[in-house]
Amino acid sequence: MIAALKSDLSHVDVGAAGTSMRFLTAFLALTPGTHVITGSERMKQRPIRILVDALRQLGADISYVENDGFPPLRIVGGSLHGGTITVPGDISSQYISALMMIGPRLSGGLTIRLTGNVGSRPYINMTLAMMRQCGASADWQGDVITIPESNYSSSISRVEGDWSASSYWYSLVAQHGGSVRLRGLFPTSLQGDSKMREYGSLLGVETVFSDGFAVLSRRSDAVLPSSVNLDLADEPDLAQTLVTALCSLRIPFLISGLNSLRIKETDRLQALHDELAKCGFDIKILEDEQSNFSLSWSPADVHSQLSTEPIATYKDHRMAMSFAAITSAVRQIDIADPDVVSKSYPSFWSDLAKAGFSINEL
């Protein structure tokens, strides 16, 4: 994202960064000039039609360079106007956030009507809060987001630490004990993934906040639940951490609200199924009549035939980090393409070494 914003914007390659693809598509539609935005081969398989159609409603000149409905995109920017658009609420919140952030710069402002069951609400609320911090006005009532025309007039004074990244440490502390201090996490957070504090408590991990740090420790009196039933529709990025941790701790689970995992860096449902099978866990992918997806596992779904193949990460940073935390169930684990963590947590492996884990590059 930083490299793209520093470039001349005529040709932008976001690699595997889905957030950057969505946010920059809206930004480039607002920015005068002709732009081509592309990404990795996986990015070219990730749908973007809903966002493109919404921007076209606002006057955007966007065409598909290769396959209809997917990046790369050719964008002739600068011709947007305000108005009212209708967007499905049950798709990636990043489409909605991308539109919201350009809203104040549109003549007459922007009204977004959301249809269907709105998922990932905390991410939309986080966008609203940060827009307000930067001087814009925005309101969300019912299924309507209203953004008057205005200017951004101030800057962000503090960026929180990443609660999504903290989830791997909750998993590690739950399995191995010890105590870990994480910088920049606060008891009051804009991030929906701060729910990890509550989920960590389920796994016996206590969180104490002090001087800008969150200190994670496993409670000596912790009693793990006999089973767990969670809906992660608002926190889908925590799914891989929790699924691998619950398997490792041998806690039966049913986790729902996972529809968006099909269109992430990889099909995360299938990836979890396939890679956990290498570790001896046969998780089930469930689909109901409304095409809502869930994952389940019970101790009966364990087999003793472990694979010697490395864990495939599918160019997905969260696959690498969530499986690194499964070592209480599998004493040694080989993880392919470990550099994928650079997407969100470049120092993950060195931090893991600081915590006492033995890490060898093969």
The structure tokens listed for 108 are: 């007459």
68 is catalytic: no
Q: Judge contact between 157 and 126, C-beta under 8 A.
A: no
CA 185 to CA 81: how far, in whole Å? 39
Tokens 């997917």 map to which residue? 70
The structure tokens listed for 152 are: 């951004």
Tokens 């884990």 map to which residue? 357
CA 266 to CA 260: how far, in whole Å? 11
CA 328 to CA 331: how far, in whole Å? 6
- β-pair partners for 311: 335
Q: Judge contact between 113 and 143, C-beta under 8 A.
A: yes
In whole angstroms, how far apart are CA 9 and each of 20, 24, 52, 85? 13, 10, 18, 26
User: Which residue, among 49, 151, 69, has the nearest Cα to 109 in the 3D structure?
Assistant: 151
Q: Judge contact between 214 and 181, C-beta under 8 A.
A: yes
Annotated catalytic residue: which of 53, 68, 231, 237? Answer: 237
CA 209 from centroid of its chain's CA atoms: 24
- β-pair partners for 63: 74
The structure tokens listed for 349 are: 């492996």
The amino acid at residue 22 is R
Phi, psi of 9 (to 5 degrees): 70, 5
Q: Judge contact between 293 and 280, C-beta under 8 A.
A: no
Enzyme catalytic residues: 237
